[in-house]
Amino acid sequence: ARASLGLAVQSLGGSVMADASAPSMAETTTISSTVYWAMLSLGAANLLPWLSFLTLADYFLDIYGDNSMEFYFPAVSTTVLVGAATLNLLYGQALSFDVRVRVPTFVMAASLLAVPLVDLAMRAGLASRFGFAITLVSVLVNAFCSAVAQSSLYGLAALFGDGATQALQSGQGVMGVVSVLLRVVSNVVLAGRPSTSMFAFCSCGSALLAGSVAAYARAVCDDSVAARLAAYERRRLSATATATAGALDQMLLPAEGRPAPSRWLSASEVWLESLSAFLVFVTCLACFPGLATSLTSPTLGSWFPLLMVAAYNCGDLFGKTLPARARLVSRRSLPAWVSAHLLFVPLFLLLLRAPAGRGGASDALPLGCTFVLGVSTGYIGCMALVLVGEHAGSAEEKELWGTASSFSLMLGLTAGSLLSFALSAAFASPS
C-alpha cells in the first residue's frame, strides 16, 4: 500500500491574473477561448512528468523488487523544484517566455521516454542498479524543466489576463484525475503486462507534452494577448540589454514615474498570499500521501490506495474550479481559512492512531477526509494565488509576483515532503 499510495502526490501549481496591455494595468482583462484552452492544456501537460513517475509505482515495484522509488522520487523532485524555481525567480526575466516554456517542455517530452528506454536496456542486460540511477537522473531533469516551465507559465498568465490562472489550475486538476483513470485502464486492459502498460502510458504522456507546445504557439499569436506580450518583450529586451541588476530593477518602473522598487521589495507586496500558499501545500504534502501511506483497509485491500488517489484528485479538481463560481475567500479572511486548513495534520494523525475497523463506515472516513483535503487544498491554494493578481501594479511587477508566489508554493511542497517523513517516522504504527 505504501508504494501504491505514492502515486497520489501531485504538483499543485498557482499563479496570478493580470492585464499587461500597458505598463499600468486594469484589474481584469478578458482572454479568448483559444488562450484559455491553450493554458489549460499547458497546465495539464506540465503536471504529466510528475504524475507519470508516481502512477508508475506498481511498475517500479515490479521491476526493482521494492518501493525505493516511492521515497527517492519525492526527495529528488521537490529539492530540484526549489532550486530551479529560485534560479527562475532570480534570472528568469533575462530569457524570453519562448525559451522558458518551449525548451523545457520539449525536454520533458523526450525525458519521459527514458523509462521505457531503460526497460529495454535492462532486458538487454543492463544491471538494475544502473537502470534505477538512470531513472533518477530522468526524474531530476524532468523536475528541473517542470519547475522552470511552470513558474514561467504563472508569469505568462499574469500577462495574459483574467482567466489564464483559472485555466492553468483547472488543467492541473483535470490531469490529476485523468492520469489515475488512464493508469487504471492501462492496467486493466494490459493486466499482467506491467512493462507494456508502462510503454503505453509514457508514450501517451510524451505525445501530450509535445502537443502542448503547439498549443502554446497558438496562444501567444492570439489577438487577445499578442500585443501585450510583444510590448512586454520589448521592455524586457531593453532592460536586459546592459545585463545589470539595475536594469532588471528598472523593469519594475511603472508608467507614473515613481522610483523603481527593488525586485525583493516588490515581491514583498504579496507576502501574505505567498505565505498562505506555502502553508497550504506544506499541510497537504504532510497529510497526503505522507501520513496516508500508513492507512490500510482490511476490506478494500489493494483497491484502497487507488480509491484514496481518486478521492484526493477529485476533491482537488473540484476545489480548483470552485473560485470561478464562488469567491468565499478575501485577503482579510485568508489567514483564517489557512489556519483551519492546518487542522488536517492533527486530523490525519488521529486517523493514523485510531484502531483499525472493518466495513464500509471505517473505510469511508479516511476516504472522506482525503476528499475534503483535496477540496480545501485546491480551493484555498488557488484563491491565495489568484488574490495576488488583484494587487494593482505594472505588467512586470505582476509577472514577478506570479513567479514569487510559484516559488513559495514549490518551497511548501519541499517542506511538506520533509515533514511527512518526520511525522510518519514519529507516529506510524510498526508494520
pLDDT for the residue 254: 47
189: phi then psi, degrees, rounded to nearest 5: -65, -40
pLDDT, one tens digit per residue, over 369-378 is 999 999 999 9
What span, in angstroms and rounded, lies between the C-alpha atoms of 48 and 117? 18
pLDDT for the residue 99: 92
CB 286 within 8 A of CB 423: yes
pLDDT for the residue 375: 95
Average pLDDT over all residues of the chain = 78
What span, in angstroms and rounded, lies between the C-alpha atoms of 201 and 193? 12
pLDDT for the residue 202: 86
Helix (H, G, I), strand (E, B), or coil: what is residue 30? Answer: strand
One-letter amino acid at 5 equals L
pLDDT, one tens digit per residue, over 102-135 is 999 999 999 889 889 999 999 899 998 898 889 8
pLDDT for the residue 266: 66
**Torsion sign, CA atoms 166, 418, 6, 346:** negative
> Residues in the chain with pLDDT < 70?
1-29, 54-55, 57-58, 66-71, 74-75, 162, 183, 186-187, 190-192, 194, 240-266, 290, 293, 302, 355-361, 428-431
pLDDT for the residue 6: 38
pLDDT, one tens digit per residue, over 188-212 is 776 667 677 788 778 888 998 999 9
pLDDT for the residue 63: 81
CB 12 within 8 A of CB 284: yes
pLDDT for the residue 124: 92
pLDDT for the residue 67: 56
pLDDT, one tens digit per residue, over 247-296 is 445 444 444 444 445 566 667 888 999 999 999 999 998 888 767 767 77
Give the H/E segment covering residue 147.
helix 128-160
What span, in angstroms and rounded, lies between the C-alpha atoms of 388 and 158? 10
Rounding to the nearest 10 degrees, give the CA dihedral for residues 334, 167, 322, 143: -60
pLDDT for the residue 346: 94
pLDDT for the residue 73: 72
What span, in angstroms and rounded, lies between the C-alpha atoms of 393 and 399? 10
CB 382 within 8 A of CB 274: no
What span, in angstroms and rounded, lies between the C-alpha atoms of 323 and 300? 34
pLDDT for the residue 25: 34
DSSP structure class, residue 343 = T
Helix 128-160 vs helix 68-91: crossing angle, to nearest 10: 40
Helix (H, G, I), strand (E, B), or coil: what is residue 341? Answer: helix
What span, in angstroms and rounded, lies between the C-alpha atoms of 206 and 209? 5
What span, in angstroms and rounded, lies between the C-alpha atoms of 275 and 273? 6
